[in-house]
Amino acid sequence: MKIILKKDVESVGKAGNLLNVSDGYARNFLIPRGLGIEASSKNMKDLKDEMETAAKRVTKEKKAAQSMVERLEGVTCNISRKVGQQDKLFGSVNTKDIGDALREQGIKIDKRDILLEEPIKSLGEFSVKIKLHSGISADIKVVVAGEV
């Protein structure tokens, strides 16, 4: 039986592949779980349309990410925190703080897209990577200053 995979199936194939599998595997496993559909001419046309729409969406998202990279070039986040002895911070600066500082500058970035290995716990200037799309990222400068 010819099947079009709707989702990636380990050791079988990737979404969108046209495969020839046994009738029992298709009827008892792939189709009931929504992993595949029978390869009729209508389903083939629908799949082609879905793939074209997805490709257009990905292209649009990549263009938006590239424009955001240009917008983020040279952006500096200034964050002030209370400090104790020896200029040690009370608490730390995390992705939420950086996201809030960017939002104040009119740049909306989700905190999950800010890649920070561990929270910043000292004063100074740090480079922080922001993931905008798969394979597209930007670096911003975060300056942590002491509050008087």
* Residue 143 pLDDT exceeds 80: yes
pLDDT digit string (tens) for 66-120?
999 998 888 899 999 888 888 788 888 999 999 999 999 999 999 999 999 999 9
Q: Determine if the pTM surpasses 0.85.
A: no
Domain boundaries, the chain: 2-63, 69-147
Rounded to whole angstroms, what are the CA distances from 45 to 2, 14, 49, 78?
Answer: 15, 18, 6, 52
Q: Which of 136, 6, 8, 114 is nearest to 61 (CA)?
A: 136
Name the one residue in this structure whose structure tokens are 């942590």. 144
Cα torsion angle, 45, 47, 48, 49, sign: positive
* Right CATH for 2-63 from 3.20.20.140, 3.40.5.10, 3.20.19.10, 3.40.50.300: 3.40.5.10
Name 66's Cβ contacts closer than 8 Å, sequence gap at least 6. 136
For domain 69-147, the question of CATH label 3.30.2090.10 is answered with no
